[in-house]
Amino acid sequence: MSQSPWQPISPAKPARPSREPLTRDRIVDAAMGLLVDQGYEAVSMRKVAQALGTGPASLYAHVANKQELDHLLVDRAAQEMRFPEPDPARWQEQLKEAMREMLRVLRAYPGVARAAIGQVPLGERAMLTTEQLLAILKAGNVPDQAAAWAVDLIPLYVTATAFEESVQRAAEWTEADIKTFVADLRTYFESLDSSRFPLTVALAPALTAGGSGDERFEFGIQIITAGLASLAP
């Protein structure tokens, strides 16, 4: 029915913009943003829901709980890890390259290391990372059981390194603070009772020697690689 000429013309209602559908990928995107910007402790189902402009209940249709969200964050980070194709002639160097690559990605996403601690990586991408590590180890003829334990040990070492770095960054120590702490620590070690702590006193300079995080990490991956190489027939 046409409108009467004396009735006021009603303004047209603006079309409501369609909301982008909620998906698991969008949830992980939002969680990763919070993780990088505010740290692991800031990531909760409630805060992720707020970032997406929805309620926490709607997230549970896609993610079971915070534990599953942690797994998804680790899996998302694993997508960016690029490992070399196994080469029996270079497997030891390739193993080191793989560990450096894992640390690179974990450094790029501060907080993922905390999410990964204590997990068994069951996401598809994380499991592919394990598969690639196993392939490098088997290219070096590392025994099966040693290879199986190594793919637990290696991520544990790399993840612990990244987690420690994130804790140190959160402390916001300056270069001067670190130098003062190291000097005080050396003085403390040297002041100990040498009859009870002879080696700690004697090695105080070495125990408090400088060395960047990268240098210490390289020492660790050298020890791991050499140990595994010693097991290969």
pLDDT score for 10: 53
pLDDT digits (tens, 9 = 90+) for 137-181: 999 999 999 999 999 999 999 999 999 988 877 667 777 888 888
> At what angle are helices 144-171 and 124-139 packed, to 10 degrees?
120
pLDDT in the model for residue 112: 93
Residue with tokens 């003062």: 180
Q: Given pLDDT bands bounded at 50, 70 and 90, which one contains residue 14?
A: low
Label residue 97 left, alpha or beta by phi (over 0 means left) and psi (-120 to 50 means alpha).
Answer: alpha
pLDDT tens digits for range 20-78: 788 999 999 999 999 988 888 889 999 999 999 999 899 999 999 999 999 999 999 99
What is the distance, to the nearest Å, from the Cα of residue 116 to the centroid of all Cα atoms in its chain? Answer: 6
Whether residue 15 has pLDDT greater than 90? no
Domains of the chain as residue ranges with CATH: 24-63 (1.10.10.60), 82-231 (1.10.357.10)
Residue 221 predicted with pLDDT over 60: yes
pLDDT in the model for residue 12: 53
Burial class (CB in 10 A: 0-12, 13-18, 19+), 162: buried
Structure tokens at 90: 């270079």
State residue 172's pLDDT score.
Answer: 72
The pLDDT of residue 120: 86
Question: 13: pLDDT confidence band, cut at 50, 70 and 90?
Answer: low
For residue 181, give both structure tokens.
Answer: 């702490």
Q: Which residues of 199-210 are buried (b: 16+ CB within 10 A; e: fewer)?
A: eebeebeeebee
pLDDT surpassing 60 at residue 8: no
Task: Look at residues 116, 134, 133, 21 and name the one whose alpha carbon lies nearest to residue 72.
Answer: 116
Residue in 177, 159, 174 with CA at minimum distance from that of residue 40: 159
Give Cβ neighbours of residue 63 (< 8 Å, ≥ 6 apart). 24, 27, 45, 69, 72
